[in-house]
Structure 1
């Protein structure tokens, strides 16, 4: 298999890995924060956090262009800092993948933290443990199965992201062309053999991810 096959696959894995790291960190903190707190408007906050799960990818891509495009204040600030627009770069693909994968990690982490016995956490605080110690050494280990499941599912979701990535990051070979967008181009150009190879590779990776989730949860 030549570089034309491996380039999108490796780039997809790289983007999914970076996105997953960001998603895991955000999912852990927000999942813990939202797990057992009750406040006015919580339902709206949770709905906003889970919204990318149900929004069409093209809507996500459109909103990312509006927020990070060259005509937006955020886009202009980032262009001034990095001396180039963020659109049509690998980081645009990372942002798109992070947005669509985050709800899966958040939902799993929140569910895991909700199942943690509060008496155990309170006992640790009584013994002198601070908030960070309780979070890292008690809450996370007790919710670890849900956290690992969320991380695996988030990676798989980021790996398969297509619509928002195509709109926001484009389809530049060797730069922003991920496996899903490469499949689209291969089919459009009639190269079914190459398209099938990419499809099979994603099916295999996704299957392995789901098996890992099943093993972790069992």
Structure 2
């Protein structure tokens, strides 16, 4: 990962989350979708699964999608809560190392706890984003496929400088170890106390017929954009 590109989502998280939301399960006989959900409700389940890693939402989304996924000969489960939480648990150490590596080798060990604290606060800010689907456009139909676009918004922390460029600037400042540690802790603190900003975006979902679930098999690509605001 290159911190200057602010791309934890492109390296550390992308592969891990892709695995977490694409488990291989043996196919079994499909049954009709048990519960009809409105597009806004479906979008909220995707948001709380992918952005917030909420256990109840992961279970509800898996249950909702399962019959349609099995009918299409896909894996039974869309997302794995345990895999998502494992990714969260690994993020501070993995990203903290990348931050510490920006600094001279002689001080990296001393800086690592502060770097991991910063990374932990960043992932906590992402997972704690308050998001809500607001409205769904009228569904359109083309070649038998129904599609609707759901608008949503998230309240995110608005830090003065995002963690990646802030860490780079600090590393280039020529700070001594104690100063660098204090600087990393100061950056970390902004993620716990910063004011909020609103991220607005849209999320398309589709289904082939009314008996199937609304879905988006590439949902992570939409929600990974949240990293551009952190």
TM-score, normalisation: structure 2: 0.28
Higher helix share: 1
If the length of structure 1 is used for normalisation, what is the TM-score?
A: 0.29
Instruction: Identify the structure with the greater strand proportion.
Output: 2
Larger RCO, structures 1/2 (Cα 8 Å, 6+ apart): 1
